[in-house]
Structure 1
Amino acid sequence: MKQNPSIYLSKSDHEALSLLLRAIKHPQGTALKLKEEISRAIVLGDSQVPTDSVGLNSSVHLEDLDLNEVETYELTMPSRANPDFNRVSILAPLGVALLGVRAGEDFMWRTPGGLRRLRVVSVTRESKSSKVHGPYSLTQ
């Protein structure tokens, strides 16, 4: 497993996440980790981001490398997060861990039960044409 591989963010995702972090007066925990992640990201035009790179509103198929189970999640802004629909907030530990990871890459995620080793099997990014609300907002 690579430690801190380069991550790619679209300009619109970078702007939305920067806005979210500016709204948090004193970032701690996962908000601080998110700030670190976006500071090291390579920011590209929306159409230049690799299609297999996890961004906001991406659907991600993850394989647990120890349990051989595959789960699917959608990475969302906090207000859209919903565990019943496998929507993970960008401010959740898993959300921060997923940001910018590409299909085929492995990463580790610390849970209360211990460290999980995960692999991104595939990523489906939201297409520009499917956005109904325009740019991201804190309430999206």
Structure 2
Amino acid sequence: MTKEQLILGSKEHQLLEKHFKTAVLSTYNKQKLKEELKHATIIKTDSLPENVVGLYSYVMIEDKTSKKTFSFQIVPLDEANMKENKISVFSPMAIAILGYQEGANVTWEMPGGLQNYLIKKVSKLN
């Protein structure tokens, strides 16, 4: 299902594997995540390239339909704070884009339906 192969740090891979086993996901998302995890390249978390979305990444995405951009940082659940634009690693958006590189197009089923996003920028420092 995935055209672009994911690159996941070992920590992110463990988090997604655990989430896959316990979360309630739509059929589409469950199948997509299963395939992504099956085919992902797993590397040491501290070796994750700067342009690949991982834990603590700062990300700018564009909604392909509305052309609106959103910026946020992906953090552990206990550090999530919407006022500071910090989203949980277990949020639908974070799960959708973890492991993808800057420039990737990602389709994921969100609460409002199937959405398409472009990952415009990824960095480790703001």
TM-score class normalised by the smaller sequence:
0.7 to 0.9
- Structural mapping, 1:20-99, within 5 Å: 21=18, 27-30=22-25, 33=30, 36=34, 37-99=36-98
- Matched with 1:138 is none
**Residue 130 of structure 1 aligns with which residue?**
none
Please give the secondary structure, in 2, of the residue aligned with 1:91.
coil
Instruction: Sort the Cα spacing of 1:12 and 1:109 in 2 relative to 1 into closer, same or farther, 3 A.
Output: closer
> Per-residue deviation at 1:9?
1.7
The TM-score with structure 1 as length reference comes to 0.69
Give the match's secondary structure for 1:108: strand
Distance 2:11 2:89 in 1: 14
Q: Which structure 2 residues correspond to residues 107-122 of structure 1 after superposition, within 5 A?
A: 107-122=106-121
- C-alpha distance in 1, partners of 2:37/2:81? 23
| 39 and 75 in structure 1: CA distance in 2 versus 1, 3 angstrom threshold | farther
Unaligned runs of 5+ in 2: none
Alignment: residue pair count: 119
The C-alpha deviation readout for 1:32-72, integer Å capped at 9, x for no partner, is 95x73545431123454222100000000001111111110
1:123 counterpart = 2:116: no
CA RMSD across the alignment: 2.8
Larger radius of gyration: 1
> Tell me, what secondary structure is at the counterpart of 1:95?
helix
Identity %: 25
Please, what TM-score do these two structures have when normalized by structure 2? 0.75
List gaps (5 residues or longer) in structure 1: 127-140
Residues 4 and 84 of structure 1: CA distance in aligned 2, closer, same or farther (over 3 Å): farther
Partner of 1:97, secondary structure, is helix
Whole-angstrom distance in 2 between the partners of 1:99 and 1:52:
11
